[in-house]
Structure 1
Amino acid sequence: MTSRVTFISPAMNAALRQARFDDGRTPLDTTGAAQAAAAAGTLPSPARVLTSPSSRCQETAEALGLLGPAVPELAALDVGRWRGRSLDEVSAAEPEPVGRWLTDPGCAPHGGESVRDLCDRVARWLTTAQDLDGRTLAVVEPEIVRAAVLHALGMPAAAFWRLDVAPLTATELSGRAGRWNLRLGRPLAAPDTD
């Protein structure tokens, strides 16, 4: 059996625009909601839809016309006491801890989850996803997409910050027997009518 998981990154919201650690409750902004609504109907029919628990992922799924439960294993990276603050603010107040966090995937100076822990959590979820029949669409935070790509390619957690995930893109994994194939960052866009 071949499993297919398509990860959809969420549309824009104020936290993404301001490079702020989202608290999970920031809604989509007007532009992000409109772009997600315009992309509705561009995805293949899934056997199941899952989302990260954040507002922006759930609102993106809804705007895309997708309904499915929030899955705790697909939650955003827990950044502890940095939640709600901008990267610039945290970097100014805690330059050394931020530097360690960006270079050492096992480090969690914010008191939350390390990048390595996140990658391990997503890898465990992908192991169970290989047993799912049919296509899974998962509207998830960009860091979940990064962790899934690292796992699929067998890359070290140290490469986590080297991957950019654009809003409203699809990253597709297909595989079986512990091996994944990858299709990166297809933009969600309304089909051409020409």
Structure 2
Amino acid sequence: MTSRVFFISPAMSASLRQTRFDDGGSIDDGGAVRARAAAGSLPPAIRVLTSPGVRCRETAAALGLDGTATPELAGLDVGRWRGRTLEEVGATEPEAVGRWLTDPGSAPHGGESVQDLCGRIARWLVTAPETDGRTLAVVEPEVVRAAVVHALDIPAAAFWRLDVPPLTATELSGRAGRWNLRLGRPLAARDAG
């Protein structure tokens, strides 16, 4: 049985625009418009999941999806850095930021390390029930990165080298032991005609 997991990154938000660690904020008006325009462009799915974060749930709703918030698919827990911009943290804790960006096992913010996130998403991919159909999952960009790290069996150090633009789809197909990857497909606006 082949599983297909279609990871969708959230629409644009002020946090993404400002390089702000997730602050629980909403998607912005432009992101909501683009997500609504892409509603109906996604392939049918037997289940729809979301990261529990606000912007993922709002993106799913704007896409016309009724998703189940799934704690295992939560974004990276950045501890005390939550809500701050990377620039702010870099100005007050430059060594900590440098360590965090170069050492996947580091968690100077007191939250979760990139390595821990990659392990959590790998466990989810391994234990997610195999289905004869597609799962759509609206998730934070870092969850998409972690899934790609696992699917390609690449070092967690490559995590920061993977860009995940807003409202793009990354597809994994296969099974727990072997995944194929199709990444970065922009969600197309529905044809208004």
Class of the TM-score when normalised by the shorter of the 2 chains? over 0.9
Which AA in structure 2 matches 1:168? Answer: L
Q: Give 2:166's aligned residue.
A: 167
| Mapped pair 1:112 → 2:111 | yes
Moved more, 101-110 or 121-130: 121-130
Match of 1:125 in 2: 124
Aligned residue for 2:183? 184
Q: Secondary structure at the match of 1:127?
A: helix
Q: Amino acid of the residue matched to residue 154 of structure 2?
A: M
Task: Give the number of equivalent residue pairs.
Answer: 193
CA offset at residue 193 of structure 1?
Answer: 6.7
Match of 1:8 in 2: 8
- The aligned amino acid for 2:101 is L
| Percentage of identical aligned residues | 76
The answer to whether the 8 A contact 1:130-1:176 is kept is no
Kindly indicate whether the alpha-carbon contact (under 8 Å) linking 1:6 and 1:137 is maintained by their aligned counterparts in 2.
yes
One-letter code of the match for 1:2?
Answer: T
Q: Residues of 2 paired with 1:12 and 1:193: CA distance?
A: 22
Instruction: Kindly provide the amino acid, as one letter, of the partner of residue 37 in structure 1.
Output: R
Q: 1 CA distance for matches of 2:109 and 2:2?
A: 39
| Aligned counterparts of 2:176 and 2:112: Cα–Cα separation in 1 | 29
Q: Which residue of 1 aligns with 2:155?
A: 156
Q: Is the 8 A contact 1:122 1:144 kept in 2?
A: yes
Q: Counterparts of 1:150 and 1:132 in 2: how far apart (Å)?
A: 22
Q: CA–CA distance in 1 between the matches of 2:15 and 2:176?
A: 38
Residue in 1 aligned with 2:146?
A: 147
Counterpart residue identity of residue 99, structure 1: G
| Alpha-carbon separation, structure 2, partners of 1:177 and 1:29 | 35
Instruction: After TM superposition, give the deviation of residue 68 of structure 1 in Å.
Output: 1.5
Instruction: Indicate the SS of the match to 1:172.
Output: strand
For the Cα contact (< 8 Å) 2:39–2:190, is it kept in 1?
Answer: no
Q: Partners of 1:185 and 1:177 in 2: how far apart?
A: 21
Q: 1:21 aligns to what?
A: 21
Q: What SS does structure 2 have at the residue aligned with 1:61?
A: helix
Deviation per CA, 1:32-77, whole angstroms, max 9, x where unpaired?
1001000000001100000000000000000000012110110010
**Unaligned stretches of 5+ residues in structure 2:** none
Moved over 3 A (4+): 191-194
TM-score (norm 2): 0.97
Worse-superposed segment, 121-130 or 8-17: 121-130
Q: RMSD of aligned C-alpha atoms?
A: 1.2
Q: 1:68 is aligned with what amino acid?
A: G
**Match for 2:67: what amino acid?**
G
Counterpart amino acid of residue 64 in structure 1 = L
1:37 is the counterpart of 2:45: no
